[in-house]
Chains A and B, each alone.
Chain A
Amino acid sequence: MEFKRVTLLAGHYGSGKTNIAVNLAMLLRQKRERVAIADLDIVNPYFRTKDSQYDLEQAGIRFICSEYANSNVDIPALPQTLYAITDDRELSCILDVGGDDRGALALGRLAPGLLEENDFEMLFVVNFYRPLTSTADDALEVLREIEIAGHLPFTGIVNNSNLGDETTPDVVLRTADRTQELCGKCGLPLRLTTVNRPLVPALRDKIPNLIGLDLQAKIR
């Protein structure tokens, strides 16, 4: 996979952004020396990139997140180190944006810098098995709401359709039509399809730009 300097992952909450962000950061680190992952989720303090902080830092990935993340203090505060994303143009970044338009509000501060530099990719993560994004039209509505709130245009789609433990190759393949429809309606390319790694062999020949994900488990 080719990366721009900054890759943003946004979408409906619970669509799988955080897990994809962590996996993409690991991939990016194989290609570039200076890599950072930023957790911009100021909406939901329950599931966070920070849960994978140890693994990420072991892999030499810089970690940018609110100092309140995982402290269970419910403060929608962004970290001051956030400015490294736009100020340090030698740094390659993966941005895990909070869910829905509310989560994308945090992008407003970064949008002017990212637009001016124009070396970013903003990916809309969709799981068509999530009830509020189960059709192309519903997903498109969320996509537009996020663009308005975040002041940034999407540049591609990531199909992360899954049913958790009950995901089979067929579950993924059945969303191909809806993905096509969404891409047609918003005029954006299907950039990636992401699946749990064990499903990759069965789908490799059927889906282009397929990436296998390692699940980050939260056990405490």
Chain B
Amino acid sequence: MPINPKDIEWVEEPAMNFWESTYLPAVFDGLRTTGQHVADFHPVTEFYPEQKPNLPSHYRGVHRLNRDDKGRVKCVACMMCATACPARCIDIVAQDAPKDDPHWADRDKFPKSFVIDELKCIYCGMCEEACPVDSIELTNIFDLTGMTRQEMMFDKEKLLSVFDQTKDTVGNPIRTHKGKLGHASDFTDLHTLGPATTVRADDRSAKANSAGVIE
């Protein structure tokens, strides 16, 4: 289907001024920029294995299953996470809570088994958003390894142990509270890295009449 000519917006290439068309000043200008970075050297490199990265609190890593204040698994086996999962990596077998047990008096169901295939998972965080009881959450543990595929199938015990391991660490607060996102969704105080170079408003690239203009 041909494009309607009225839909085409013609973007003029800006005419080069005298010094730009001689190339060399632009070359020296570029060399000045790169030379300044060499002279004023502030590396942003992190020495990874020794120095762990300072991850933003909305980072999505390995899952955990939260415990409630009685130490039970919070999950009520409602299957909403398994339904929401686009990668279909969550497998839950629900079980009715034993009615006569006072330990489970306030609950209808609990997961008999809860398995997440961490190799299938795409770490999108939809399970976290779907969960009505703030049970499943993504931690900022990113360096998970295993020698076999079986090791990467995280079952309920392992997911609970991830919670025990991470509940007191700095980067892993309880993120959701009764369906509302906690402070992790507060994007003002996220410690992400800024770009190494900035675009000034008087740069030619910023003035260009195209999408993605930085004002």
A binds B: no
| A-binding residues in B (CB < 8 A) | none
| B-binding residues in A (CB < 8 A) | none
